[in-house]
Amino acid sequence: MMNNRKREIRLGTTYSFPMGIWLFIFFLVPLLIIILYSFMKKGLYGGVEWEFSLAAYRQMFNPNFMRVLVRTIVVSVAATFFTMLLALPCGYAMARSRNQTLLLALIIIPFWTNSLIRIYAWIAILSSEGFLNETLKFFHIISESLPLIYNQGAVVTVLIYMYIPFAILPIFTTIDKFDFQLLEAARDVGANKTRAIISVLLPNIRSGIITSFIFTFIPIFGAYTVPLLVGGKDSYMIGNIIVDQVTKTRNWPLASAFSLILTLLSTLGVMWMMVSSAKERSQSGKKNPSFRQGGNL
């Protein structure tokens, strides 16, 4: 018995090696290279010169860059918020539907098309001679094209479209496991529909909501194709700056510094989300300190 157990444990660690190697080569090493590069002098034709320098971080505190950073945060938070707001009812409807497989397929099918093509499709829909404007004009609802594209609204709309499947799927999986009789129990003791959903459904699918948040917020925060293709000149996000620094300005240390900031800020965002929900959980257990003493008897 004892021997068997030991062997199992040893085998278990062996199994995790490929994963460790993968993470080391494709996550840890690149991250370390980025950190290293951000503290180097920029090379004349791209790359870096092997000399310590804080120039990249000094350049970063340029007001123009700061404006982009703030905008990135605002756009990401807004897009994530609306994505979640739409994903919750979608996930709920899917979990309660009898055609779950069909609905799942409908969510997955768009992935068969390349994301760039899907963004170009949005250009065809939103542009001044696009589908939406022409339809509205055809029915004489408007006489002149609305500015639907090359602005912040277009960026948020397309970002929502791109990332909503990643929000729906985790929410759907947790709601699918949720015992709907709990909602009846809440109604039974006096909660109306809305109240039952807020006080019983939402707390019980918290893990799905957090996963959805992580799956949407991180990629949206680093997005660069969407603002590039459907955004205006005021829609630049950090992702675009990084691409520009690598391909055009050839300032690799600055690109590295921005990448690092991006990683740090998105990690902070996720951690804030997790910590605040953990705090909420522990608070709900402490609401009756006076009673707690009685309970220990």
Partner 1 sequence: MKGYDVQIENVSRAYGSFKALDDVSIDIKKGEFFSLLGPSGCGKTTLLRIIAGFDSPDTGILLFDGKEILSQPPEKRHVNTVFQSYALFPHLTVYENVAFPLRLKKIDKNLIDSKVREYLHLVQLDSHIHKKPGKLSGGQKQRVAIARALINEPSVLLLDEPLSALDAKLRQNLLVELDHLHDQIGITFIYVTHDQSEALSVSDRIAVMNQGKVLQVGTPYEIYESPATDFVARFIGETNLFEATVVNCDPYEDYFMTTLDIPALNSLVKVTDYDNLEKGQRVSFTVRPEKLKITGERPNKVGKDINLFHGIVEEPIYSGFQSKYYVLLENSTVIKVIQQHANYMDEGPEIDWKDSVFVSWSAEDGYIVEVVDS
Under rule CB under 8 A, residue 49 binds partner 1:
no
Under rule CB under 8 A, residue 267 binds partner 1:
no
Single residue of 12, 18, 63, 190 touching partner 1 by CB under 8 A:
190
Q: How far is CA 22 from CA 10, 250, 256, in A?
A: 20, 29, 22
* Radius of gyration (C-alpha) of the chain in whole angstroms: 25
Under rule CB under 8 A, residue 188 binds partner 1:
yes
Rounded distance, CA 217 to CA 221, Å?
6
Under rule CB under 8 A, residue 295 binds partner 1:
yes
Minimal distance in Å, beta carbon 181 to partner 1?
Answer: 5
CA atoms within a 13 Å half-sphere pointing along the CA-CB vector of 56:
30
Under rule CB under 8 A, residue 18 binds partner 1:
no
Single residue of 128, 145, 151, 204 touching partner 1 by CB under 8 A:
204
Under rule CB under 8 A, residue 211 binds partner 1:
no
Residue span binding partner 1 (CB under 8 A) among the ranges 34-42, 57-65, 195-203, 232-240: 195-203
Single residue of 199, 247, 249, 276 touching partner 1 by CB under 8 A:
199
Q: What distance lies between CA 231 and its chain's CA centroid?
A: 19
CA-nearest of 232, 53, 246, 90 to 167 is 90
Single residue of 181, 194, 282, 283 touching partner 1 by CB under 8 A:
181
Under rule CB under 8 A, residue 282 binds partner 1:
no
Helix runs in the chain, H state only: 2-15, 17-23, 29-38, 55-60, 63-96, 100-108, 115-126, 131-138, 152-177, 181-188, 193-196, 202-204, 206-221, 225-230, 238-247, 252-284, 289-295
Please report, as ranges, the residues that interact with partner 1 according to CB under 8 A.
179, 181-182, 184-192, 195, 199-200, 203-204, 206, 281, 284-285, 287-288, 290-292, 294-295, 297
